[in-house]
Amino acid sequence: SLSRLLILGARHGDELELSAHGADAEGALDRVAALFDDGFGEGTDAAVPQSAPAPAPVEESPAPAPVAVGSGAVLRGRGVSAGKVAAPVVHLAPPLPEPDAAAVIAPADRLDEVSAIEWAAVAVADQLRSRTAQATGEARAILDASRLLASDPELVADATALVQAKGRSAARAVWEAAAVHEKGLAALGGRMAERVADIRDVRDRIIAEILEVDMPGVPERDEPFVLVAADLAPADTASLESGRCVGIVTEQGGPTSHTAIIARSLGLPAVVGVTGVTGVADGAMLLVDGDHGTVEVDPPEERVVAARAAAIVVPFDGTGSLADGHRVPLLANVGGAADAATAATARAEGVGLFRTEFCFLDRADAPSIDEQVAAYCGVLAAFPGRKVVVRTLDAGSDKPLPFANADHEDNPALGVRGLRIARRSPQLLDDQLRALALAARAEQAQVEVMAPMVSTVEEARDFAERCRAAGLERVGIMIETPSAALLAAELFEVVDFVSLGTNDLAQYTLAADRLVSELGDLNDPWQPAVLRLIGAVGEAGRAAGKPVGVCGEAGGDPTLAPVLVGLGVTSLSMTSRSLGRVAAALADVDEATCRRAATAILTAGTVDEARAAARAVLEGVSSH
C-alpha cells in the first residue's frame, strides 16, 4: 500500500526493519533494499528539507451562476498568448460535491457497492497506466505514482469495510477512507503533507468513475477543445501538455498570470479577463484570437476554417535574421534541463534566460553547491558551444523561497527580491556563482551570468566583481526597473550586456501589480512609457557597442519583435514554441523598416496608437 508507506513517516536517518512472507519473499526484500540504497531514484545525498505544517484547507463559496451567452457574440479580453484557434468549448469540470453521508445502503445491495469500488479503482488505474505510457520526464513519474495510489489495496479495503459494516454508499465510502489517509499524511507535515493533494486526486477519480461523471479539473477528451474557466490553478494546467486542449479562455487573469505563462510555454492561444465567457454553452464553437484578444461564439464556417489553418505550428530553421540578412539571434527561456532539451529540439540558437530559481521552488533549505552544479549542467549540456544566459536567483515577490526570503513583507514586489537577497545572505549568491563557474567548466556552453532586480550602478559593479572573482567572465544585468533603464549608459560601463525583463519593467513603470487581473491593461509592453524606456536602453547599447537582449514575454510577440529590433534590441528570448512565428515576422522586414517602425511608435501616446503606428509601417512593407 503506497499510502500506508507514506503515512509511515520514515525520515532521513531512521532505521527500518523489513520483513516479507510468501512466494519469493527473499527476492522481494532484495528489491526493496535496493530501492533504499538508491534513495528511491532520487539519490542519497540530497539535502533534507525541514518539515513545514500543512496548510489549512480553504473553504470556497460557490460561484454565482453564469449568464448565458448566445451564438454570434464577440467577447473581448486580453490576448496573452499569440495565435488563433477554433474548437468546441469544454468547461473546467466543477469540484465533486461531498457524497451524502446520510444515505444507508440496504444489506442486500452492499455487495454491488463493493463491486463498484473495486471496478472503479481498476478503471482509474488503467486510465492512469495508459496516460503514463504516453508521458515523459517528471509527468510520467507523477502519473505512475497516482496509478499506484489508485491501485492501493488499503484504500479499497478500507472503503469496502465501510460499505459492509456501516452501509455507506460506494462514493461516500471512498470519500471517508481517503479522508483517513489524508489526515495521516497531513499530520506528518513537510513533503508528506503535500501528498494529501495526490490522495484527493485519486479519490475524486474513483468517485467520478463510480458516479459516471466528469473528473474535476481539466476534462479528458479525444477531440480538440477550447478550455473555458473562471480561472486556472497550477494543478489544472498540469495535464494540458499531453491533452487535447488547443486554446484557453478565462474570466480572470492578466498577461503575467500563471495561466498566461503556461499557455505561452505550451504554445496555446489564450485570452484572459473575458467577462461572461463561462456563460458560453458547452460544445459551442469558439474562435479564440490570442493576438487581438477576441473570442467569437459560433462564428461562420469560413472563419473557423481560416483559424484552423492559422493554428499550424511554424517551424524554425535555427537562424533568426531580417530580410536583409541582419542577424537577430532567437533564444529560449528555460527553467531546467527538460525545458532546455525541448528548446534544443526546437532549434533555439541558445538560452537567453535560464531561470535558476525554478530548480529549487520545492526546497525548504538552500541547495548545496554540488546539487546546483548538477542542475546547471543539465541545462548547459543541451547547448554545447552556444550561449546560455543564466539569471541568478530571482526569489521574492510572487516566487518566495523559504531559505531566501523573509516570512512577511508588506510590499514584497518592492522588497528584498532578486539581487537584493545578497544584502541579507551574501553567501547564497557566492555559492551560486561558484556552482555556475564549476558547471561552466564541466560543460562546453558559453555561459553568461546576469543579476535580476538591479537599480543602481553600485549594485551592478558589486555583482560584476563577485562574478569575476568566481571565474565568470561574461557578466550582465536585467533591466527591470525604470532606474536601471535610465542609467543604462552608466551601467554599460561596468557590465558586458543587459537583458530587458519586460514583465517587471511594465509593472514598475506603470506602478501596477502584474498579478492583479483588473490592471492587466497597464502591464502591457506596448505601453508608450515602456517602449520609450526600451528605446533608451537600446540607444545606450548601440553607443557602447554592447548587446541588448529581451527575455520578457514581449520577446515572443511576433508583432512587437521588429519594433524591438528597431529600438536597438540585438537578440530575443522566448518560449520554444514562439520561435518559428517570431522568425517569420522578422524575415519579412529589413533593418531600415524596423527602425522606421521604432521611430513611429516613440511618438505614440497610447497603446492603441503605438500598435497602429507599428502596423502602418510594417504592413505597408508587407503589402509590397
pLDDT tens for each residue of 104-141: 999 999 999 999 999 999 998 888 887 777 655 545 66
What's the angle, vertex CA 387, arms to CA 383 and CA 390, rounded to 5? Answer: 95
Residue ending a domain, choose from 447, 471, 491 = 447
- CATH no. for residue 81? 3.50.30.10
- Residues 424, 560 within the same domain: no
> Which residues, at least 6 apart from 39, have a Cβ–Cβ distance to it below 8 Å?
45, 46
Count: domains in the chain:
4
Tell me what pLDDT residue 55 has.
38
Average pLDDT along the chain: 85
Domain that holds residue 508: 314-327+480-624
Classify residue 320: in a domain, yes or no: yes
Ranges 300-304, 567-571, 620-624: which has the least confidence:
620-624
Sorted by sequence, the CB contacts under 8 Å of residue 597 that are 6+ apart come out as: 562, 563, 566, 589, 613, 614, 617, 618
Q: Domain of 194: which CATH number?
A: 1.10.274.10
Closest C-alpha among 330, 469, 472, 483 to residue 391: 472
Question: Are 497 and 612 in the same domain?
Answer: yes
270-272 β-sheet, strand order: 74-76, 294-297, 285-289, 84-91, 225-229, 245-250, 270-272, 78-81
Residues in the chain: 624
Is the residue at 5 inside a domain? no
Q: Enumerate the β-bridge partners of residue 380.
A: none
Residues 81 and 102 in one domain: no
Owner of C-alpha cell 511594465 = 506
* One domain for residues 221 and 283: yes
Which of 194, 214, 234 is a domain's end point? 214
Residue 79 lies in a domain: yes
Q: pTM of the predicted model, to two decimals?
A: 0.64
Residue 87 sits in the same domain as residue 145: no
Give the confidence band of 59 by pLDDT, cuts at 50, 70, 90: very low
Q: What amino acid positions are annotated as catalytic residues?
A: 258, 551
Residue 500 contacts residue 534 (beta carbons within 8 Å): yes
The reply to whether 527 and 620 lie within a common domain is: yes
Helix (H) or strand (E) segment spanning residue 600: helix 591-601
Per-residue model confidence as pLDDT tens digits over 156-215: 999 999 999 999 999 999 999 999 988 887 777 755 665 676 788 789 889 999 999 877
557 and 620 in one domain? yes
Helix (H) or strand (E) holding 547: none
Segment 425-448 shows an average pLDDT of: 95
**Based on the domain organization, do 438 and 506 belong to the same domain?**
no
The reply to whether 305 and 411 lie within a common domain is no
pLDDT tens per residue across span 237-246: 656 766 789 9
- Statement: residue 57 has pLDDT above 60: no
Specify the pLDDT at position 54: 37
The helix (run of H) or strand (run of E) holding residue 272 is: strand 270-272
Q: Is residue 47 in a domain? A: no
User: Do 231 and 82 fall within a single domain?
Assistant: yes
Classify residue 21: in a domain, yes or no. no
Residue 517: its pLDDT value, please?
Answer: 54
Most confident of 248-257, 394-403, 409-418: 409-418
608 lies in the same domain as 520: yes
489 belongs to a structural domain: yes
Lowest mean pLDDT: which of 42-51, 233-242, 345-354? 42-51
Per-residue confidence at 41, pLDDT binned at 50, 70, 90?
A: low
Nearest to 216 by CA among 201, 195, 237: 201
Query: Residue 559 is part of a domain; what is its CATH number?
Result: 3.20.20.60
Q: Is residue 552 very low, low, confident or very high in pLDDT (cuts 50, 70, 90)?
A: confident
